[in-house]
Amino acid sequence: MVSRGAFDLISVEKEVFPYLPGGIESGIFLKNARYTVDYDDAVYHRYDQHHNRFIRTMLADKISSVMAGAKAVTAGSRYILDYARRYNPNSFLVPTVIDLSLYPDTEPPMIAAHPFLIGWIGSQATVQYLKSVEDALEEFCSTRNARVLVIGGNPIPLRVPSVEWVPWSRENEVKWLSAIHVGIMPLKRNPWSMGKCAFKLIQYMACWKPVVASPVGENNRVVSHGLNGYLADTKEEWIEALNDLYRDSGRCREMGRAGRRMVEERYHLDAVAPLVLDILYSASGSRDRS
148 vs 71: CA distance, rounded Å: 45
280 and 156 both lie in a single domain: no
104 and 246 both lie in a single domain: yes
> Using CA atoms in the order 12, 13, 15, 18, what is the torsion angle rounded to 10 degrees?
-140
How do residues 110-130 score in pLDDT, each as one tens digit?
A: 877 789 999 999 999 999 999
**Nearest Cα to 75, choosing from 263, 266, 276, 268?**
276
Per-residue model confidence (pLDDT) at position 25: 78
Per-residue model confidence (pLDDT) at position 287: 54
Handedness of CA 187, 189, 192, 193 (dihedral sign): positive
Domain extent for 238: 100-266
Whether 92 contacts 277, CB under 8 Å: no
Per-residue model confidence (pLDDT) at position 20: 87
Q: Is residue 290 situated within a structural domain?
A: no
pTM of the model: 0.92
Q: Is residue 10 situated within a structural domain?
A: yes
52 and 111 both lie in a single domain: no
Q: Is residue 60 situated within a structural domain?
A: yes
Per-residue model confidence (pLDDT) at position 2: 47
Per-residue model confidence (pLDDT) at position 153: 87
**Nearest Cα to 103, choosing from 173, 166, 152?**
173
136 and 165 both lie in a single domain: yes
The runs of H, that is alpha helices, within 31-104 are 45-48, 53-59, 62-69, 78-84
Domain count, the chain: 2
278 and 204 both lie in a single domain: no
**CATH number of the domain that residue 248 is part of:** 3.40.50.2000
Q: What is the DSSP letter of 17?
A: S
134 and 29 both lie in a single domain: no
Per-residue model confidence (pLDDT) at position 5: 56
Per-residue model confidence (pLDDT) at position 32: 78
239 and 275 both lie in a single domain: no
Per-residue model confidence (pLDDT) at position 289: 56
239 and 148 both lie in a single domain: yes
118 vs 130: CA distance, rounded Å: 12
55 and 69 both lie in a single domain: yes
Per-residue model confidence (pLDDT) at position 223: 98
Q: Is residue 220 situated within a structural domain?
A: yes
119 and 206 both lie in a single domain: yes
Whether 129 contacts 188, CB under 8 Å: yes
CB neighbours of 96 closer than 8 A, spacing ≥ 6?
A: 40, 76, 197, 198, 199, 202, 267
49 and 85 both lie in a single domain: yes
Per-residue model confidence (pLDDT) at position 33: 83
155 and 216 both lie in a single domain: yes
Q: Is residue 90 situated within a structural domain?
A: yes
Q: Is residue 289 situated within a structural domain?
A: no
How do residues 170-227 score in pLDDT, each as one tens digit?
A: 999 999 999 999 999 999 999 999 999 999 999 999 999 999 999 999 999 999 999 9
Q: Is residue 136 situated within a structural domain?
A: yes
Query: Which residues, given as ranges, of the chain have pLDDT below 70?
Result: 1-6, 28, 287-290
**Amino acid of residue 205:** M
Q: Is residue 260 situated within a structural domain?
A: yes
282 vs 284: CA distance, rounded Å: 5
